[in-house]
Amino acid sequence: MTTNKEREINLFKYKNNDSDFFIKRCSLKDINAVIEVNERELPEDYPFFFYKSILDNFPESFLVAQNKNGKIIAYIMWRVEKAPSIDSLRYVNKGHLVSIAVFKKYRRKGIATTLLNNSMSAIKKSEILKYVLEVRVSNYTAIKLYETLNFKIECIKKKYYRDGENAYFMILNVGNS
Ligand code: ACO
Ligand code: ZN
């Protein structure tokens, strides 16, 4: 029998020897800790049932990072959506990044990059043809992060956020349709 701990470590490996975090799938008991990261680091807050519905529907790409004491320090969650193909003759899947955040103290250690890489490969089996996201036009840090993964700005969504700020709509094509 494998313990939970072993399963977690088998699922996602430590990034490197001197890193002090590891990545695992989110579970129901982690949601409150995820909410704590979200509320501290992002102005967009969601109710508990929102996180739970993402976890119920898209568990393979809802990941958390823990420090060596087991404290949750970052999360990422995605939705898989159907979208019309370019020729509009069929539907294709796209991965929509719902939210990512890392506690300030743990930033710039590659945690977000590790979360993005692992979650994006986890949803690839849903035959994702593109990944999409919105980000505040003022969020230089996050825009830089997405650019390192080859996301490109597709357009601006005017007044996307409740406070009136515009969003960049960024996409990363992975299929050829
Ligand atoms: N300045 C410039 N470039 C940066 C910065 C920064 N402050 N932070 C990250 N980057 C770029 C760099 O290219 C970096 O690579 P490098 O460190 O080798 O130069 C690369 O992104 C990868 O950085 P990571 O260490 O993987 O990113 P980190 O773990 O620090 O997390 C994140 C980045 C998630 C944007 C973090 O700053 C954060 O939690 N911010 C607040 C929450 C937030 O804005 N979330 C995104 C909202 S949009 C959405 O959720 C869809
Ligand atoms: Zn969105």
Per-residue pLDDT tens over the stretch 63-85: 999 998 999 999 999 999 987 77
Q: Which of 28-42, 121-135, 143-157 has the lowest mean pLDDT?
A: 121-135
Residues 94, 80: contact at Cβ < 8 Å?
yes
Pocket of ligand 1 (CB under 6 A): 41-42, 97, 99-102, 107-113, 133-135, 139, 141-142, 144-145, 148
- The pLDDT confidence band at residue 19, using thresholds 50, 70 and 90, is low
Which ligand 1 atom is nearest residue 111's CA?
A: 29
Ligand 1 mutation target, pool 107, 140, 161, most atoms within 8 A of CB: 107
> Is pLDDT at 16 greater than 70 in this prediction?
no
Going edge to edge, which strands form the sheet with 91-102?
A: 21-25, 63-67, 72-84, 91-102, 128-136, 167-173, 152-157
Q: From the CA of 173, how far away is ligand 2's center (Å)?
A: 16
Per-residue pLDDT, averaged over 127-133, amounts to 93
pLDDT of residue 85: 77
Taking only the tens place, the pLDDT of each residue in 136-155 is 999 999 999 999 999 999 99
> Is pLDDT at 58 greater than 60 in this prediction?
yes
Share of the chain above pLDDT 70, in %: 88
pLDDT of residue 161: 96
Burial class (CB in 10 A: 0-12, 13-18, 19+), 161: middle
Torsion of CA 79, 51, 110, 119, to 10 degrees: -30
Question: Domains (ranges, CATH) in the chain?
Answer: 4-173 (3.40.630.30)
pLDDT of residue 18: 52
